[in-house]
């Protein structure tokens, strides 16, 4: 007799479910401007980094001590700026295939959550703008831990709690090699999708279980649910 396992899916947000059209970066710049008096502290790409890693790098670039209080203040200011930045981001979009894939996963009984470097309030603001606010009952977030593997662990733990003790497999879906490495660190399967800045060959280099050009791909559901 085969034992039915529940699949816990942890979706990354930026570059995987949606593209913010620069709103996240604009909000970080606005926060740095307000608190550090300058916004030239982000000479790096944000993709795959957690919010607290981004804030830490900004503080160090500005010659400030990245104390917990300074980090929290920068993140709080970022969150204040995020809603208006999201509202005025004309290039904001939900990525191809996302809505129907979420429908299909729910139809197959998967537990669909988040595994994102965004702090929860930021993730929820972006998902609300995308019309996906109600889709994710749980997750691991950038406010759980600065390290991506640790926040995925938190998301997987919350998913397992919902599965009420049954057998589970955890699958991470993300758009960067950071998502792949962190998924491996917690022993999860991982599907990489080339809708962020990394193309398929760059993602192949991180050796995920599958690489998809986008989530509209006919293989997306099978790749995620593969035992």
**Smallest distance from the beta carbon of 148 to Mg ion, in angstroms?**
10
DSSP 89: -
**Smallest distance from the beta carbon of 175 to Mg ion, in angstroms?**
4
In contact, 140 and 115? CB cutoff 8 Å: yes
Handedness of CA 45, 51, 54, 55 (dihedral sign): positive
Encode 86-97: b = buried (16+ Cβ within 10 Å), e = exposed: beebeebeebeb
Name the residue nearer to Mg ion (CB basis): 35 or 180.
Answer: 180
Name the residue nearer to Mg ion (CB basis): 123 or 225.
Answer: 123
**Smallest distance from the beta carbon of 115 to Mg ion, in angstroms?**
10
Handedness of CA 137, 140, 141, 145 (dihedral sign): positive
Strand-pair category, 168-174 with 6-11: parallel
Name the residue nearer to Mg ion (CB basis): 36 or 195.
Answer: 195
Residue ranges binding Mg ion (CB under 5 A)? 12, 14-15, 175
Q: Which two tokens stand for residue 20?
A: 């913010």
**Smallest distance from the beta carbon of 51 to Mg ion, in angstroms?**
12
């Amino acid at each position: 007799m085969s034992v039915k396992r529940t699949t816990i899916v942890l979706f990354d947000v930026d570059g995987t479910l949606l593209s913010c059209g620069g709103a996240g970066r604009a909000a970080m710049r606005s926060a740095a401007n307000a608190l550090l008096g300058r916004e030239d502290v982000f000479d790096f790409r944000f993709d795959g980094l957690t919010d607290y890693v981004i804030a830490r790098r900004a503080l160090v670039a500005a010659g400030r001590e990245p104390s917990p209080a300074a980090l929290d203040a920068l993140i709080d200011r970022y969150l204040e700026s995020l809603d208006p930045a999201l509202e005025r981001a004309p290039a904001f979009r939900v990525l191809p295939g996302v809505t129907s894939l979420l429908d299909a996963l729910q139809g197959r009984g998967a537990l669909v959550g988040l595994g994102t470097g965004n702090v929860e309030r930021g993730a929820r603001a972006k998902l609300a703008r995308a019309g996906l606010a109600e889709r994710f009952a749980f997750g691991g977030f950038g406010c759980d831990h600065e390290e991506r593997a640790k926040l995925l662990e938190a998301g997987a733990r919350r998913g397992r709690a919902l599965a009420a003790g049954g057998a589970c497999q955890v699958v991470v879906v993300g758009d960067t090699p950071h998502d792949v490495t962190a998924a491996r660190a917690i022993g999860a399967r991982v599907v990489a999708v080339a809708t962020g800045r990394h193309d398929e060959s760059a993602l192949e280099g991180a050796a995920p279980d599958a690489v998809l050009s986008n989530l509209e791909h006919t293989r997306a559901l099978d790749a995620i649910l593969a035992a």
